[in-house]
Amino acid sequence: MVDIKKISTEQRNNLTKNMDISSTLEILKMINNEDKKVPLAIEAVLPEIAELVDAVAETLANGGRLFYIGAGTSGRLGVLDASECVPTFGVPSDMVIGIIAGTDKALRLPVEGAEDDMEAAIKDLQAYNLSSKDFVVGIAASGRTPYVVSGCRYARSIGAKTAGVTTSYKTELSANVDYPIEAVTGPEPLTGSTRMKSGTAQKLILNMISTTAMVKLGKVYENLMIDVQMSNKKLESRAVSIVKEVTGVTDDVAQANLQKYGSVKQSIFAIISKIESIDEINRILDMHHGNIREAIKYTLKAEE
């Protein structure tokens, strides 16, 4: 048996003990008041998250991959963040990968014993040919989930960089990774239900990791998603809006450039640099690793 009394996320919350005899509004206020503590818990570990993000960005810049690995809610959040990187930042689907204990079936249905299967974590990572070039982020509210700890131990053993995102103190996961993140959110409003404050904290931290790493990789100009994939009508409209916002051109000009070049980044660079050749545009962008600010500086300097 697991001694859950030692796990902070399993403790009783004295502020919500009357939940079952409270009014609907009172219950909502209880949950809301507890949720307010989440950003403060994350704020306390921002320096550690910054170190982790810099290491992730370096890994991705050098051709490595970012893996999230978790079970239950933690696993679902990792898969969610990974899958959203593709349309948001236009990265290949194998750059950021989410792995959940029990396979993708566990995204919708609980898989009995999956989080306790230590061998499965190793096999799941080996299926992706994990190497020392990659980065594995283990996600576990308790910081003890055997599947997650085992996966991170294996990753570390082959030279991959590792991190752990937990909402508990001094955990086993933290002791087995290079970059431990412990955003301690305290007892849940509903005892042990880590899909609540713990899940919220994990979601916010994963947002920070992927978004900031992509910013550092040149996937963002100012605060605009210049590598967004135009995969639906809304995103097509967003692409037009971004090109207009940055360059000041009309709808028609923005649309014409997007049709010609097929991407927001290339369209913006073409308009500002006045370079029309797609080969030349790609050459200069590649020279600056896709960083549009640096590419524009290079072009303007060349004109002087």
Q: What are the residue numbers of the active site?
A: 84, 115
Name the phi and psi angles at 145, rounded to 5: -50, 115
Which of helix, strand or coil describes residue 73? helix
Check if the beta carbon of residue 82 is closer than 8 Å to that of residue 113.
Answer: no
Task: Quote the Cα angle for 63-202-222, to 5°.
Answer: 55
Residues constituting the chain: 304
3-state secondary structure at position 35: helix
SS3 percent helix, strand, coil of the chain, rounded to 5, is 60, 10, 35
As a whole number of angstroms, the distance between CA 83 and CA 179 comes to 23
Q: Residue 182: helix, strand or coil by DSSP?
A: strand
